[in-house]
Structure 1
Amino acid sequence: MTPDTAFYLTAIPAVILIGLTKGGMGEALSMMGVPLLALVVSPVKAAAILLPVLIFMDWVSLWIWRRHGNRQLLLSMLPGALAGIGIGWGTAALVPGSILRLLIGAMTILFAMRYFWNRYRAWRGAVLAVRGQNRVAASFWGTLSGYTSFVTHAGGPPFQIYALPLGLDPKEFTGTSVRFFAILNLVKLGAYASLGQLDTENLWISFTLLPFAPFATMAGAWVVKRMRPETYYPLMYGMALLAGLRLFWTGFSG
């Protein structure tokens, strides 16, 4: 395949949307990247083209957020996530992707709606406590995040379901998320290579898209670093709701 103007008119916006997410702007934007690029190439090829770009964005994000992160959250979720990737590698063919998207989408929608209901309750005067960390819950949602990241490229919603209610500072939350998915994407790179999806053609196309990646990532980070928690968290839960709706719809359509 020789990329033409129509391809780049679709691929560049896809990279920009994903870059804004990598900067910390919310999972919903990222989840539009592969479907958007899949308008001009197959979904598998779209994912393969974007993965090296994602890893490049990860390195940019890691540098931007190098001073921020929550070690306890990362270490509690990462073992489950790595196990989830392994489970996905061994069982992906047994579970239809559409069913998984449907279930994760439904859970994410309920999760986001619960947040907005609680905000309404707080507005009415109810006192709501911030949830503490729990290793069992972290392992469960980490495993689900790793599994869905491998099978459907949608590891963000399970991560958010566990991590957002912790009420971390926006910079701390974003720095942890960046580290978490940077590690997952590196692990997935080996899996994609073994499946023969990272051929010379796809890598060259990925290379031509790299110049657009750092600017979008830095733009997303610039916005997040200037957000207060009372602005950041409603935005993130709203993004999670959109991501859940997108997952649910693609799963239902499938």
Structure 2
Amino acid sequence: MPVFKRSFLANLIAVIVLIIILAILFFTLLGVITRHGKTLRVPKVTGQQGAEASRLLGSLDFNVVVQDSAYTDTAAPLTVLRQTPEAGFVVKVGRTVYLTLNKKMPPTTAMPDLVNYSFRSAMMTLESQRLNLGDTLYRPDIAKDAVLQQLYNGKPIAPGTLVPEGARITLVLGDGIGNVDNPVPNLVGLTYLQALDLLSASNLNRGVVLTDGVLTDTANAHVFRQNPSARSASGAPHYIRAGESIDLWISQDSTAAGIPPADSSAL
């Protein structure tokens, strides 16, 4: 019986000693396994190509995960736009760094209708559609800073047209009524199309257009009256400023505009 007790006690002590040795080894190796106390400062990889950033982070024992993509027209495709943790953070070796890359192709968005918007409203609408303002051009018009036309790549663009996000949209704005008085052009006797061309060349706008009789060909209808007229009843010229409008009266009957009928005997 005493022998059994001594054997049991010896085994118990041996087990306790073994547990203590294993615990010491575990806690000694734990720091090695987890790299306890070893830290690194996260480098800046934003602006670098994704593959280049991954190689750099991998060489420093970071894990790399591309978790998202976005688009901006100010960065090259597949460059790093954001990183988490940010550059300069001190983290443990082996920490995962999450990257957001710039897309290869920009997503598209529908072009809004900005005509007649104020410049401020147009800017807000462009921003909401993730579009950018390009050039601003001014044209004589009574509506100061109102959008008269919207252009993309130098050409008019219709509302609803799909364009790349970040595209630059040029706005043609009214500069208000001009400050210089110019003689009112005489439009009476011209065809409607000719009158429009002359108005455009004179930086004037078409006002109200009234018709006399049935029109079968509006473009070739003739102007028989305008307001303001080119001259007063006494023959003195009337004046108008750039950006103002002239109202027109048109008729299919050329004689109403004072144009004599063709002489059939001369044919």
Fold match by TM threshold 0.5: no
Q: Which has the higher strand share?
A: 2
Q: Which has the higher contact order (CA 8 A, sep 6+)?
A: 1
Q: Which has the higher helix share?
A: 1
User: TM-score normalized by structure 1?
Assistant: 0.18
Structure label with greater radius of gyration: 2
User: TM-score normalized by structure 2?
Assistant: 0.18
